[in-house]
Amino acid sequence: MSTKLTHEEAEALVRSNDPEHPANLICELCRDFYKLGWVTGTGGGISIRHGEHVYLAPSGVQKERIKPEHIFVLPFAQSSVPKPGSQRDFIRIPSTKGLKESACTPLFWNAFTMREAGACIHTHSQHAVLLTLLLPRDAKSFKMSHQEMIKGVRIGGVGKTLRFFDTLEVPIIENTADEEDLTEGMAEAMRKYPDAPAILVRRHGVYVWGNTWEQAKTQSECLDYLFEMATKMLLAKLPLVGDE
Per-residue model confidence as pLDDT tens digits over 187-198 = 999 999 999 999
Residue 171 buriedness (CB in 10 A; 0-12 / 13-18 / 19+): buried
pLDDT per position as a tens digit, 10-42: 899 999 999 999 999 999 999 999 999 999 888
pLDDT per position as a tens digit, 218-241: 999 999 999 999 999 999 999 999
Mind telling me the catalytic residues?
148
Q: DSSP readout, 131-158?
A: HHHHS-TT--EEEEES-GGGGG-BGGGT
- Binding site annotation covers 104? yes
Q: In terms of CATH architecture, what is 7-235?
A: 3-Layer(aba) Sandwich (3.40)
Model's pTM, two decimal places? 0.95
pLDDT at 3: 57
Q: Are 113 and 80 in contact (CB under 8 A)?
A: no
Domain boundaries, the chain: 7-235
pLDDT per position as a tens digit, 142-200: 999 999 999 999 999 999 999 999 999 999 999 999 999 999 999 999 999 999 999 99
Residue 1 has pLDDT above 60, yes or no: no
Q: How many CB atoms lie within 10 A of CB 11?
A: 15
- Binding site annotation covers 70? no
- Binding site annotation covers 122? yes
What band does 119 get if pLDDT is binned at 50, 70 and 90? very high
Exposure pattern of 65-76 as b/e (b: 16+ CB <10 Å)? ebebebbbbbee
Residue 223's SS3 state is helix
pLDDT at 46: 96
pLDDT per position as a tens digit, 63-93: 999 999 999 999 999 998 888 888 899 999 9
